[in-house]
Amino acid sequence: MKEVYIPAFFHEVFGEKQKVIHIVTIFLFGAILSSALFYMYSDWFEALAWWRLVLVFLLVFDVFSGCIANFTESTNQFYANSKIKRIVFISIHVHLLIIAALLQLSLVLVVFVWLYTIVCAFIIQAIQSHQQKFVAGLLLAAGVAWIPMLDMHPFMLIVSLLFMMKVLFSFSVDHYRSRLS
């Protein structure tokens, strides 16, 4: 498969060298799923200012695309080489909070999901063995079990679950540890 070198500005998203098919897949997944979600719940956005809608769409697109991008070997390796980059990445992921604020939703439930995700991501970062995948899988399964029990609009539920998958599992686990070490 053809690989391309990624400009330094996009290393945080794609790593240093990425397969073209992965780039296309990441963008298609983000675009199709975001568009489908906004189409399915378009009535929910009728009273929303256009600029809020655009920002929410971009943030949701980032969550969905990043969920897949973080599974690629290139992105995984880019962050595997720097614990500081991993900590910064986790720390700046406040997407859910911003989305809820832009949609003028109560932050209480979203804060629970966000805190659970971030705390779990830091727990996974503290594990430096192959147990990382097991613990991350356990924490992801627990989140998938309890988050739907919250009284959340289906739009926010879907975004919340994929945000959790992106940060807690897709990003926080060093998926290629055996190949890179």
Q: pLDDT band at 53, cuts 50/70/90? A: very high
Residue-range definition of the domain harbouring residue 53? 3-176
Under the banding of pLDDT at 50, 70 and 90, the label for residue 161 is very high
The gap from C-alpha 135 to its chain's centroid, in whole angstroms, comes to: 18
Q: What is the mean pLDDT of residues 34-48?
A: 95
Backbone angles phi, psi at 109, to 5 degrees: -65, -40
Flag whether pLDDT at 142 surpasses 80. Answer: yes
Check whether 178 has a pLDDT greater than 60. no
> What is the per-residue pLDDT for 39?
97
Closest to 90 measured CA to CA, from 129, 125, 136:
125
d(CA 54, CA 73): 30
To the nearest whole percent, how much of the chain has pLDDT over 90?
77
Question: Is 181 part of any domain?
Answer: no
Q: Note whether residue 97 is domain-resident.
A: yes
pLDDT of 147 over the 70 cut: yes
Calculate mean pLDDT across residues 115-128.
96
In angstroms, the Cα distances linking 95 to 110, 123, 156, 179 are 10, 20, 12, 31
Cα distance between residue 99 and residue 44, in whole Å: 14
What is the model's pLDDT at position 14?
A: 85
Position 1, amino acid: M
180 falls in which pLDDT band (50, 70, 90)? very low
Count Cβ atoms below 10 Å from residue 57 Cβ, excluding itself: 16
Per-residue confidence (pLDDT) for residue 124, from 0 to 100:
96
* 177, pLDDT greater than 80: no
Residue 175 backbone dihedrals phi, psi, to 5 degrees: -65, -25
Q: Which residues pair with 4 in a beta bridge?
A: 18
Number of independent structural domains in the chain: 1
Q: Is residue 63 included in any domain, yes or no?
A: yes
Q: How far apart are CA 62 and CA 1, in angstroms?
A: 25
Does residue 78 lie within any of the structural domains?
Answer: yes
Task: With respect to residue 129, please indicate whether it lies within any of the assigned structural domains.
Answer: yes
Residue 30 covered by a domain: yes
Model pLDDT, residue 181: 44
